[in-house]
Amino acid sequence: GRVAFGSVNGRDLIQLRTSLEQVPTIRQLIVGINQGEWDDLLVDLNPVEDLVALIATAINEEAPLQITEGNVIKDGYNDQLDEYRDAMRNGKQWLAELEAKERQETGIKNLKIGYNRVFGYFIEITKSNLANLEEGKYERKQTLANAERFITPELKELERLILEAEEKSVELE
């Protein structure tokens, strides 16, 4: 029912796999007692090993009830999905590492990476430190009273990975 209507969730698939895993045992029991009257049933009783193996390989045993929550597909099953999950799990760490790298390269101790919905991720540098910037490395994004906000190609790529990750991972699943 649910599979046919497209309303199946990960837990339903795990239960389906558990049930299908019993088909070979049922076939053996029928073969043991069969006197010919069960031949039609044996022909139709397909153990669908490929489907059982696919569910076992792909579906997370602890899948949530709502498929839109993600985490239905196991890690390692799909490379693109693994990349999205890596961005969701490690995005903040990547930003912290980029911030530390930029501080070291510029010598600006109060350089920070921030985020807002309008401009996305940015590197904020106080006006008193603008003279320390390497020419052409940063693209100005916003001017504030006491600071300037910039982007770099590396920051834009991290932003793309992080912001796409959650939406696309659920979509891919």
Q: Tell me how far apart the alpha carbons of residues 162 and 165 are, in angstroms, rounded to a whole number.
A: 5
The tens place of each residue's pLDDT in the chain, 173 residues long, gives: 676 666 778 888 888 899 888 888 888 887 777 677 777 777 777 778 888 999 999 998 888 887 777 788 999 999 999 999 999 999 999 999 999 999 999 999 999 999 998 989 999 999 999 988 888 889 999 999 999 999 999 999 999 999 999 889 888 88
Residue 74 falls inside a structural domain: no
Residue 116 and residue 40 in one domain: no
* CA–CA gap between residue 162 and residue 158 (Å, rounded): 6
Domain identity same for 42 and 90? no
Q: Based on the fold, state whether residues 164 and 91 are members of the same structural domain.
A: yes
Q: Kindly tell me the burial class for residue 123, based on how many C-beta atoms sit within 10 Å of its own C-beta (0-12, 13-18, 19 or more).
A: buried
Q: Are residues 52 and 117 in the same domain?
A: no
Q: Which domain holds residue 24?
A: 2-69
For residues 10 and 55, membership in a common domain is answered with yes
For residue 77, give every residue at least 6 positions away whose Cβ sits within 8 Å of its Cβ, in sequence order, or none: 57, 58
Q: How many domains does the chain have?
A: 2
pTM: 0.68
141: which 2 tokens?
């994004």
